[in-house]
């Protein structure tokens, strides 16, 4: 019987790191400087929109695909957005607001 090769991991001393990193932390400039890289987003930046696909909508609402479709077309559920030729998604905050309204 033929054995499959096993993966081997390089020792930590041989693992590659980013050129401007020290102990796994990214730095601006040379590794000798101790100035940390700026944060990815400024604190006054509005929150990012998160898109939810249908399985997440079903899980959060407990509604079937046909019920979601009917409520959407009646204007009683947030509208879906086409994110590609064959994929749709809903904005998470719109769906969460719909759930909050239903619970109050």
pLDDT tens digits, 11-66: 555 544 444 444 444 444 444 545 555 556 666 767 788 999 999 999 999 999 99
Q: What does the pLDDT read at residue 100?
A: 97
pLDDT level of residue 91 (50, 70, 90 thresholds)? very high
Q: Are 18 and 26 in contact (CB under 8 A)?
A: yes
Q: Indicate whether 99 pLDDT > 70.
A: yes
Q: Are 15 and 8 in contact (CB under 8 A)?
A: no
Q: Indicate whether 2 pLDDT > 90.
A: no
**CB proximity list for 21: less than 8 A, separation 6 or greater:** 27, 31
Q: Are 61 and 95 in contact (CB under 8 A)?
A: yes
In Å, how far are 16, 28, 42, 44, 98 from 36, measured between CA atoms? 20, 6, 15, 20, 41
CA dihedral 20, 25, 28, 31 (to 10 degrees): -50
Q: Are 22 and 31 in contact (CB under 8 A)?
A: yes
Q: Indicate whether 88 pLDDT > 80.
A: yes
């Amino acid at each position: 019987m033929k054995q499959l090769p096993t993966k081997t991991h390089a020792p930590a001393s041989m693992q590659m790191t980013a050129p401007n990193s020290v102990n796994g932390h990214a730095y601006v400039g040379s590794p000798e400087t101790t100035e940390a890289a700026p944060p990815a987003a400024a604190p006054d930046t509005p929150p990012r929109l998160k898109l939810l696909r249908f399985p997440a909508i079903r899980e959060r609402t407990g509604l079937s695909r046909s019920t979601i479709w009917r409520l959407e077309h009646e204007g009683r559920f947030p509208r879906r957005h086409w994110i590609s030729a064959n994929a749709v998604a809903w904005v998470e905050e719109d769906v969460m607001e719909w759930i909050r309204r239903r619970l109050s």
